[in-house]
Amino acid sequence: MGLLRSLPYPETSYACKEAARHYARLGASTLILAVRNFEKGNAAKKDIETTAAKGTEIQVWQIDMARYDSVKAFAARVEAELNRLDIFHANAGLACAKFTTTEGNETSITINVISTPSFLCPQFNTRPTVVITTSGANRNAKFPQKSEPEIFAALNTRTTQGAPTSRGSKGCVHGNESSSGEDDRKGSSTLIHAVTQGAKSHGQYLADCKIDAPAPVRDGNKDVQDRIWRELKEKLEAIQPGVTGNF
């Protein structure tokens, strides 16, 4: 059925736990695990250190993507403590089983959409490669809210089904096996692959270690994309004035 694909094992060091393991294995000088649960983050660090290259320093920093103050504090710490940032991998995400709100928006919109670009406010001498993990389920999104006068307001209702806003899919990986035949470590290869593809992949959607066509609901809807970006910028500026000038 064309669902099983062999994915390349990462062998180059450019920039979920197994993706972080790849970075450490490939010799990243400093690897920061951004985690909500500090205890679990430290446990992951100890595990990753068993396969890390010599000289790789792993740090655990706490962040709660559901709280804008926490996201801003994390970004401020990045700017204060790091003199460069080469890779920013936004892997955190949430799929809600029931409707809840956080910071005035539907919870998954807050975490998956609004908080993620809020990370990008620090200024550096280098331009980091940014990869945002998403789900292939975006292909099935109907997105009826795209026709509403205010898209985010329409998404902020109990009938919300979500909208496709991300850029890279890791495949469907559960436990040690997945429906596409990947174990966790090989499945995470898709995340590392997205980092290594250079200018040709900028602004692209990648799946199964290749540039792929975006969801039909997004492709060909330039007006909808522009409206979403305009509304998102307004929200970001309300959270952190001036932040969108760094994009």
Annotate 121-152 with DSSP letters as a single string: ----SS--EEEEEE-GGGGG---GGGGSSSHH
Query: Is residue 128 included in any domain, yes or no?
Result: yes
For range 145-173, the mean pLDDT: 65
Residue 158 lies in a domain: no
Q: Averaging pLDDT over each range in 44-58, 71-85, 104-118, 209-223, which range is the top one?
A: 44-58
- pLDDT at residue 175 is higher than 70: no
Any residues with CB less than 8 A from the CB of 35 and at least 6 apart, and which? 41, 44, 60, 61, 62, 63
pLDDT value, residue 207: 81
For 31-86, the pLDDT digits (tens) are 999 999 999 999 999 999 999 999 999 999 999 999 999 999 998 898 889 888 88
Helix (H, G, I), strand (E, B) or coil at 84: coil
* 118 vs 62 pLDDT, higher one: 62
Q: What is the pLDDT of residues 136-145, one digit of tens each?
A: 777 777 788 8
Give the chain's domain count. 1
Query: Does residue 179 sit within a domain?
Result: yes
pTM for the full predicted model: 0.78
Count Cβ atoms below 10 Å from residue 22 Cβ, excluding itself: 23
- Average confidence score pLDDT of the chain: 78
Question: Domain for residue 143, yes or no?
Answer: no
Residue 223 within a domain:
no
What is the C-alpha separation between 245 and 242, in angstroms, rounded?
A: 6
* Least-confidence region, from 35-44, 158-167, 235-244: 158-167
Residue 121 confidence class, pLDDT cut points 50, 70, 90? low
Structure tokens that stand for 210 in this block: 């290749």
Residue ranges making up the domain that contains 27: 17-137+168-214
- Whether 10 maps to a domain, the answer reads no
Q: Is residue 60 part of a domain?
A: yes
Query: What's the CA dihedral at 11, 58, 47, 74 to 10 degrees?
Result: -110
In a domain, 30, yes or no: yes
CATH number at residue 107: 3.40.50.720
